[in-house]
Amino acid sequence: MSPDAPTRIETHEKPDFPISIYHNRGSGDGVLGIHCHGDFEILQVTRGEAVFRIGPDSYPCRQGDILFVNPYEFHSAATTPDQTVEYVAIVYERNLLESITLHPDYNRFIRPLLENRLRFPHRIAPESRLEGQVQSLLVEILEEYEKKPVGHEWMIRTCLEKMVVLLYRQAPSDGSGGRLTAQQRLGWDFADLFRLIAEQPSRHMSTRDAAAQVRMSPYHFCRRFKEYAGRTFVDFLNLYRVNEAERLLRDTTLTITEIAEQVGFCNIHYFDRVFRAYKKRAPSSMRISRAGD
């Protein structure tokens, strides 16, 4: 395996338990490729340092730091080529919250989170009481996951639900209280676009199509998207698709042609050219590396 290739070990409980834990390691740009998904995610650095990006914001992190990713927020991470960082990612699927629809406060607290009308803060104040509470819950979740005592699934769900309540108290509202920044509102405007890209990566998506999706003119969309993402929409889309292709090359036995089509490249030669431009290596080398792991 290439030294800058990310290592990801998944601990997956069972199909009906909507939580996964990933122990990740990487260096350079290979720490975490830009991507987004419909689940909630908690990231905690366990060794080293890296800069994590969530939406338009960058967060330099070191051992012990915790970050939160809301559904359909694109996120990535990188560090220097000579430095290795390790971190844990706890991904909990939307149906963990959807499954408690009978909760008396569902419409008030949970539904806004699922509909992107309310979001968790990406980072909590260091050395705050809240950070201590979240740290304790993470320790308990990881211990329950590793040791698996009787009722560990119930305990993990309980810990996560408590964490949701604690974070909810810090979440910016979309009401008239005026606590949202312009960038946060812009992120919500783009949430449906990122959802569409994540759920249908093979779908043709021109800049004009993307602008229409968020009800902006192409000119206004291009300006606001680059302001938000730090890159053009075409650059973002190509990088997202290449990262998804890299994941499929490492984790599946699909052919390169099948993978190219699945992530939206109908021309295999164009896919090869774009992949090389972003990854500085051929798609086939990823499959060779995987075979040699």
Position 125 scores a pLDDT of 81
Q: Is the dihedral of CA 112, 118, 122, 128 positive or negative?
A: negative
Q: Pick the residue with more confidence: 37 or 186?
A: 37
Helix axes 233-251, 218-229, angle to 10 degrees: 60
Position 10 pLDDT exceeds 50: no
Q: Pick the residue with more confidence: 131 or 180?
A: 131
Position 13 scores a pLDDT of 47
Position 7 scores a pLDDT of 45
Percent of the chain with pLDDT over 70: 78
Task: Write down all domains in the chain, each with its CATH number in brackets.
Answer: 7-168 (2.60.120.10), 182-292 (1.10.10.60)
Report the length, in residues, of the chain.
293
Position 220 pLDDT exceeds 70: yes
Bridge partners of residue 84, in order along the sequence: 27
Which residue's entry shows tokens 């009906």?
Answer: 16
Alpha helices in 93-232 (DSSP H): 95-98, 111-114, 129-147, 152-168, 182-199, 207-213, 218-229
Count H helices and E strands in the chain, helices first.
Answer: 11, 9
Phi, psi values for residue 260, rounded to 5°: -55, -45
Report helix, strand or coil for 211.
Answer: helix
Position 291 pLDDT exceeds 60: no
For the chain, the straight-line distance linking the first and the last C-alpha, in angstroms and rounded, comes to 6
| CA–CA separation, 56 and 62 (whole Å) | 20
Position 172 scores a pLDDT of 57
Residue pLDDT, tens place only, 117-164 = 677 888 888 888 899 999 999 999 999 988 999 999 889 888 988 888
Maximum pairwise Cα distance, the chain: 57
Percent of the chain with pLDDT over 90: 40
Residue pLDDT, tens place only, 87-116 = 999 988 766 665 555 556 656 666 667 666
Task: Sort 240 into a burial class: Cβ within 10 Å, 0-12 / 13-18 / 19+.
Answer: buried
Please, are residues 289 and 1 in contact by the beta-carbon 8 Å criterion?
A: yes
Position 119 scores a pLDDT of 76
Residue pLDDT, tens place only, 21-69 = 888 998 988 799 888 888 889 999 999 999 999 988 899 999 999 999 9
Supply the pTM of this predicted model: 0.77
Mean pLDDT of the chain: 82
Position 207 scores a pLDDT of 95
User: Which residue spans within the chain are E strands per DSSP?
Assistant: 7-12, 19-27, 32-35, 40-47, 49-54, 57-62, 66-69, 75-78, 84-92
Tell me the average pLDDT across 239-253. Answer: 90
